[in-house]
Amino acid sequence: AALLPRPARGLTDRLYCGRQVCYEVLGVSRQASKAEIARAYRQLARQYHPDRYRGEPEGGEGSGAQAAHEKFLLIAAAYETLKDEETRKDYDYMLDHPEEYYRHYYHYYRRRLAPKVDVTIVILVTVCAISVFQFFSWWSSYNEAINYLASVPKYRIQATEIARQQGLLNKTKEKGKNRRSKEEIREEEEEIIKDIIKNKIDIKGGYQKPKIYDILLFQILLAPFYWCKYIVWYCWWIYCFTIKGQEYGVEEKLYIIRRYMKMSQSQFDSLEDHQKETFLERQLWIRENYEVYKREQEEELKKKMAMDPRWKRYRRWMKNEGPGRLTFIDD
């Protein structure tokens, strides 16, 4: 029954100005300009505004003010309908085609329920907020890594020796009027050691120094460039190694090995140089060699886990008291 055609209705209570015509509410014609509509609205709003209405009560105390309030709401609804060109166009269409009942409902509530703020702006603000949080989070992780390396004796001794060779630590010990407290000297020496560690040690992986073009905003902006670059590189790869049959270079071999290991570029870069040399020596870019290497690593991992006391305790617990064991103990 709901899908059957409904009888034609020119004006509906729940749409626009209800049973009244918005033009008649404002006292203007359908050919009125936006200036005329605004002028008529201001005159009626001053007359029927609840804070300015001074009419006499009708039919009891407060009924005149209530009627003025309802009249003001109707005037405001009429003005909201006619001030916007798109809404006014839909309203005029409803007056001319009252039989298209469902279409009028759809356009009316689509405009009313549509978000007031542009979705593009919301997405842009969200991406910017995520990018800012991401950048400062990376900086925090990077500073944590520097603080940790500064506390490791191996790196601290090397950084201190480099600082002495460059004469940086001698500048902290001043005499006379410029003499400072031991605490200030210690803090400055600590900053010098951290700066040397930052400059001399290349931290890779999740704790590497953040770069502005690695954040989400720049990744989205540079996505077309990266896609074009990848397509060109892929075509070059097919041409050189599939069509022409050239031998792989060192970079190409490491790339294939990284793909086999399913590691990201940052994870692969964090590996030691001797590990990469071992990969090349064992020719892991060949699939068969990599499968053999993978099985060896799995066997070695099983042996380590078998000898690990914590893993032994875990297996003992799984055997004696782990989940799935039937007991008659209430707890």
Q: What is the pLDDT of residue 323?
A: 57
Per cent of the chain over pLDDT 90 is 16
Say yes or no to pLDDT of 44 above 50.
Answer: yes
Residue 171 is encoded by which pair of tokens? 């500048």
Q: pTM, whole model, 2 decimals?
A: 0.49
Q: What is the C-alpha to C-alpha distance for residues 297 and 305, in angstroms, rounded to an integer?
A: 12
Measured over the CA atoms of residue 223, residue 225, residue 228 and residue 232, the dihedral's sign is negative
Q: What is the C-alpha to C-alpha distance for residues 300 and 287, in angstroms, rounded to an integer?
A: 20
CA angle 124–129–131, rounded 5-degree value: 95
Per-chain mean pLDDT for the chain: 79
Q: What is the pLDDT of residue 175?
A: 56
Give the residue with greater pLDDT, 270 vs 203: 270
Helices 85-96 and 63-83 cross at an angle (nearest 10°) of: 100
State pLDDT tens for residues 46-103.
888 777 666 555 444 445 677 778 888 888 888 888 888 888 888 888 888 887 777 8
C-alpha dist (Å) from residue 169 to 106, 195, 225 = 76, 12, 46
- Alpha-helical runs (H) found in 152-222: 153-165, 182-200, 216-221
Q: What is the pLDDT of residue 3?
A: 42
Q: What is the C-alpha to C-alpha distance for residues 177 and 155, in angstroms, rounded to an integer?
A: 34
* Residue extent(s) of CATH 1.10.287.110 domains in the chain: 22-113
Domain 22-113 architecture:
Orthogonal Bundle (1.10)
Q: What is the pLDDT of residue 53?
A: 63
Confidence band, pLDDT 50/70/90 cuts, at residue 231: very high
Q: What is the pLDDT of residue 290?
A: 92
